[in-house]
Structure formats: C-alpha cells, structure tokens
Amino acid sequence: MSALATTKPVEAMEDDRIGELLEQRKGHPTPWFSFEFFPPKTPEGVEKLYERLAEMAPYNPLFVDFTWGAGGSTAELTLELTIEARRRFGLIANMHLTCTNMPTEKVVDALKSAKDAGITNILALRGDPPVGQERWEPIEGGFSSALDLVAYIRKHHDTFFSVGVAGYPEGHPNRIQQVDSLEGLSKAELGRVAVERAEDGTVTGYYVCRDNDFVQEIDYLKAKVDAGADFVITQMFFDAEVYVAFVKTCRSAGITVPILPGIMCFNTLQGFKRMVAFCRTRVPEKLWMDMMALSKSDDDEVRRYGIDFGVRLGQELLRAGSSGLHFYCLNLSRVALGIVSGLGLGSQSVDATYTNEKVESEIEKAMNGSDKVKSKEKALSNHDHVGAVASS
C-alpha cells in the first residue's frame, strides 16, 4: 500500500460538487471566479501558500484547485493542500489527478484518499512527461489517457466525484505545427494561429493546429464529456475570440457542459515569454508589443499591465457569455485579486478598490522576491497546470 493510501482521513462532510455549483450559477447576475495553485517545493513555500489562501479566501471564489506533479510526485502535498483549503479556509477544493507515469494502484489510492477526506471534485488529466523526458509514454499497468481516467472514475465511483477535464481552444500543443506562411490557412486556422515574434515585433514563425487535427481535438473532448466529465477548464489564451470560437465549435459538436475560460496572470516578462513559447499560445500583436515595451527589470510594471489586461480580457469574456473566470495564479495573489476587484467581483465585505497603487505598495510582501517568482514560473513545467502545459 502506498504512503498516500495511509493518509489519515479528515472528519468532514462531503464538499460541494463543482458541476452542480456551475449548474446553479446559470443565469446568475454576478459572475463567479476561481483560482488555481501548485504545490510548492519547500516547507517555507507551503506556508507562504497558506498565507495566500488566507488572503484570497475572503473574496469568495467559487472553488480553488491544486495541481498534481508528474508521476504523482506531489501526491501527498496536493492532497494535503486540497484538504487544508477546505478545513482552514472553508474553500471548495478541486484536486488535479494525472495518470502520467502512474500505475493504476496509485490512482486508486489517490481517489480513495480524496473520497475518505470528503473531496468530491477531480480534474482528470493525462499529464506531461516527467522532467527530462520529451514524449509522454504510458507505463505498463497504467492509464493511457485522460479519457481512460474519466471512465475509470465513473465506473468505480459513480457520481461521487464531479469530474473536470482540460480543453484546448487553440489545439493541444502536441498537435500545433509550424507552417511556412499564412497563405492557404483556413479562416478558422487564421483565428487560432500563433505568430512568433522577436522583441522588436519581427515575425519569426507561424504555428497552428490544422483543421483536421482540431476536429480530432474536439472529438476527443466530446469523448471525455460523454465518459462522464461535468465541466471543461481551458488552456490559457489571450484572445477572447479564440475562446468564443472554441465554445461555438464545442456546442456544435454536442458538448453541452460548462466551459471555463482559463486566464493566466502576468507576473514577470520572462515568465510570460516562457509560457507563450512553451504552449505556442496565440498572442495578439498589440499585447506582444505592449509587453515588449515594458521594462525587463521592473516586474511591478508588468503586474500593473497584467491587471489592466486581465480586466479587459475578463470583460470581453463575460460580455461574450461566460458565466465566470478561472485564474492561473502561479501561487501569487496580487494580479489575480487586482483583476477580480477591477471587474467588481468578490465578497462585498472585502475592499474592492484593489488599485495599482495598492499592488505597488504591497509588492514586496506579495512576491517575496522576484527571483522566487521566476523560479515558480519555471517550475510549472513539472506540474499538470492546465494553463501552462500539455495535459490532455
């Protein structure tokens, strides 16, 4: 029996299920929002994350979720954070679960431990290759895809868990390919093509998920939903029209579950550039030029811009019909809370004037050093973070 299976259950009632909460929020005049975090590498980082949760909980997110390291490397800590988010802060928690390098028995243990603790929400992901391994390969006796994981959860746990899955508005990064030019691309392909640029704006390449591959992506997403997924959380994107087109395509394919838009919070310029390059994300030209015009040595300036951009993107998504927003926080609070407050969301008991000046004045406390921020962003490649990596 694994160490995870021996984790002592907490005395707790079953948590609310996200699928049901999203259904209840349909037509609600006030949009919801949610936050995603990843397990820190050090005990000090864990305590800092608990401080973040204490700071962010009063804003009343619909839920928070915690990522799962490749091969279950953070299994116990992910479970602990999920439990403590509920116990200490009264937050509805969503636990990521991947099957990368995970034997079946380890998945069984993880689900049992979650169930024993009253955790009722799982984000089922394939996950990414472990560090140092370029391609994902299933292990003997393990699962081969998120679809297998969703089917297993439904077969063995029926409706106890509300199950979410990942969606890729621009196509899965593994299906995104380089093309020589924009000539010959369809209207849909032009709508999701990523233009690679140098810092001065010079175009250096084009990347796109071709239509045939995108159809397969949608078919696979529908298969995950048909297998029992209750909701979809998208990979990060920076163009609201990409999300709108994705939702329209999903609805046409018969995917009717809620599709939650994932918004990446900007904290450093280098972090932004790494994320974009890693995921081949479409970046509108104005956003790229705005970001390149910011000071490379002034992270405060990047965060102020990140709040402004996040508010504008959030407004576009809400106007387009999204009932809420999911934020990839990178374990930091300033930009996420700045966007939430800028949109007029959050608990009425919380000061909603989260201005740039307040961000600037508290930046040292919030960031705990820009070098640590950069290392956190770099470390995301070891996790199943939907907004940053290719988990399917």
Q: Which of 14, 36, 47, 189 is catalytic?
A: 36
Q: How far apart are CA 389 and CA 364, in angstroms?
A: 28
Q: How far apart are CA 146 and CA 315, in angstroms?
A: 31
Is residue 99 within 8 A of residue 142, CB to CB? The reply is: yes
Which residue type occupies 76? E
Residues belonging to the chain: 392
**Is 377 labeled as catalytic in the residue annotation?**
no
- Secondary structure string (H, E, C) spanning the chain: CCCHHHCCCCCCCCCCCHHHHHHHCCCCCCCEEEEEECCCCCHHHHHHHHHHHHHHHHHCCCEEEECCEHHHCCHHHHHHHHHHHHHHHCCCEEEEEECCCCEHHHHHHHHHHHHHCCCCEEEEECCCCCCCCCCCCCCCCECCCHHHHHHHHHHHHCCCCEEEEEECCCCCHHHCEEECCCCCCCHHHHHHCEEEECCCCCEEEEEECCHHHHHHHHHHHHHHHHCCCCEEEECCCCCHHHHHHHHHHHHHCCCCCCEECEEECCCCHHHHHHHHHHHCCCCCHHHHHHHHHCCCCCHHHHHHHHHHHHHHHHHHHHHCCCCEEEEECCCCCHHHHHHHHHCCCCCCCCCCCCCHHHHHHCHHHHHCCHHHHHHHHHHHHHECCCCCCCCC
Catalytic positions, please?
36
